[in-house]
Amino acid sequence: MTSTTLGNDALGDDGLSPDEREQAARDERSVRRGFWTKIKATAVRIPFAEDAIASYYAAFDRKTPLRVRATLMAALAYFVLPLDVMPDLFPLIGFTDDTAVLMAALKLLSGHVTPDHYTAARDALTRLKDEKS
């Protein structure tokens, strides 16, 4: 799996408007800054940790189409946001909105989050659990 940034793709037939490209770049910065910190802090409490990590890998995979990467990046940026509709501090219901956003993105884009992304996600979860032990 090769990683890339959304800004590395040439302008043109990527299907993103300039505004969408700018938003995708902002989302990418948020995800790069906060994803691993948030997932390390929450992985044991959220049932969708593997899906979130697989989405992360797909979002940075050069083989994933840009529009798909931008959509996954938006869902992951929502997960990373410190303030959202349902604060994550509330037990059980705090991650409901994060789950809904990420699962909706995954349902729409399921063919682009590959078994390789899930394998990498399981490996990352194993490493995270080993770090906690």
pLDDT reported for residue 8: 46
| Residue from 73, 59, 64 nearest 30 by CA | 73
Amino acid identity of 14? D
pTM of the model: 0.74
Query: Do 40 and 78 touch, CB atoms closer than 8 A?
Result: no
| Residue from 121, 16, 34 nearest 82 by CA | 34
How many angstroms separate the CA atoms of 56 and 50, rounded? 10
- Return the SS3 of 129: helix
pLDDT digit string (tens) for the chain, length 133 residues: 545 555 544 444 567 888 988 999 999 999 999 999 988 988 877 888 898 999 999 999 999 999 889 989 988 998 888 665 455 455 555 666 667 777 777 777 778 889 999 999 999 999 998 887 6
